[in-house]
Amino acid sequence: MIRKMLWMAVMLALGSAMARAEGEAGLPAAPAEKPAPATAETPGSGEQTPTDRIVARFMALDADASGGVSFEEYMAMVQKRAEARYRAMDANQDGEVTDEEYRAFWKSRMAKWYRLKR
């Protein structure tokens, strides 16, 4: 059960690009006021790589400014995104997603992200 929850959390976190495209609640924006330090990928350049931007967005989850993201901080983001996704699937907002609601959700929003034959 825990393994399944962790897998779901990882998959939700990795779907931040999907969430941005769909307009759902996602990771907070990376702080823009200071450039990322040079990394091994960009020695001395001062430019952010895609990895630098992803790490900055992840570290923005550090609500208590401890210098690291706790499991609770991470799961708060996962919970927020899962709730937004569920509300999007539950078209009539009755607290239950039917076969028809999920099919409509999949066809309208998710199918574009996957290349499965239907």
Question: For the chain, what are the domain ranges?
Answer: 2-113
pLDDT tens, N- to C-terminus, the chain (118 residues): 566 555 555 555 555 434 444 444 455 555 544 554 555 554 556 789 999 999 999 999 999 999 999 999 999 999 999 999 999 999 999 999 999 999 999 888 877 766 655 5
- Give the torsion sign (CA, 24, 17, 60, 64): positive
Pick from 15, 7, 10, 30: nearest CA to 88: 15
pLDDT recorded at residue 3:
60
Query: What's the rounded Cα separation, in Å, for the pair 46 and 29?
Result: 19
